[in-house]
Amino acid sequence: MKKLSFLMAFFSLIFMKTTFAADITLYYSPYCPHCHHAQDFFSNEMIYEYPHLRIIQVNVMEENNLPVFKNALSKCKYDNGGVPVIVVGDKCFQGYAEFMKKELRDAVEKDMSEDDKRIVAENKKALEKDSVAFKKKHEQRKNAISEYIPKDEIDKTEKKNDMNSANYLYVLLVALIAVLGFVLLRKDKKK
């Protein structure tokens, strides 16, 4: 029994992970003013407050993104396609207004450790004290926001990169053969 307890404790340590803030997926339209307000909130406050937060933006006006948007609407049990739709962990929000900031923060913090919540509180205070200096110091956090790329687009890019690599290899091989031919021809002329 002691061996079993020891093994369970050992494996729980191996597979234990730190619980960070829940990531956010924002389904938006470039023509939607509420979407822009949500984007401003995320890019000017949330990414600086939550150091491990990642935000994926999905432009629903791009046809390739419609299947993933429809899946989100289904998951969230929304029967209309109004945007923004904001998914934080397993919680969904449709629309955006200033009063939603606390709810969004609560959803992000749902599974966070107390230490991580303390860091968030410190970051909020530092932002309130001097947001320009804090944002400058943590400028890399802008990379926490990225645009969604559908899998088929990623596959096309990878294939294109593979083709480019093959082309470079082919050009290098041709150049090597040309140099080798030049050297061999030159040796024949010297004899």
Looking at residues 91-100, what average pLDDT do you find? Answer: 96
Tell me: the pLDDT tens digits for 141-158? 999 999 998 876 655 555
* Residue 136: predicted pLDDT: 95
* Residue 66: predicted pLDDT: 94
* Residue 6: predicted pLDDT: 38
CA–CA dist 153, 144 (Å, integer): 21
Looking at residues 158-171, what average pLDDT do you find? Answer: 64
CA–CA dist 118, 101 (Å, integer): 18
CA–CA dist 175, 137 (Å, integer): 48
* Residue 108: predicted pLDDT: 95
pTM metric for this prediction? 0.70
21-25, 103-107, 150-154, 160-164 — most confident range: 103-107
* Residue 25: predicted pLDDT: 96
Tell me: the pLDDT tens digits for 167-183? 666 677 777 787 777 77
Q: What mean pLDDT value characterizes the chain? A: 83
Tell me: the pLDDT tens digits for 12-50? 333 334 445 679 999 999 999 999 999 999 999 999 999
CA–CA dist 15, 60 (Å, integer): 36
Sheet with 145-147: strands ordered across: 91-94, 85-88, 24-28, 55-59, 145-147
- Whether residue 116 has pLDDT greater than 70: yes
Please give the class, per CATH, of domain 18-148. alpha beta
pLDDT band at 60 (very low <50, low <70, confident <90, very high): very high
* Residue 180: predicted pLDDT: 76
CA–CA dist 106, 75 (Å, integer): 20
Give the position of tokens 């150049």: 175
* Residue 95: predicted pLDDT: 96
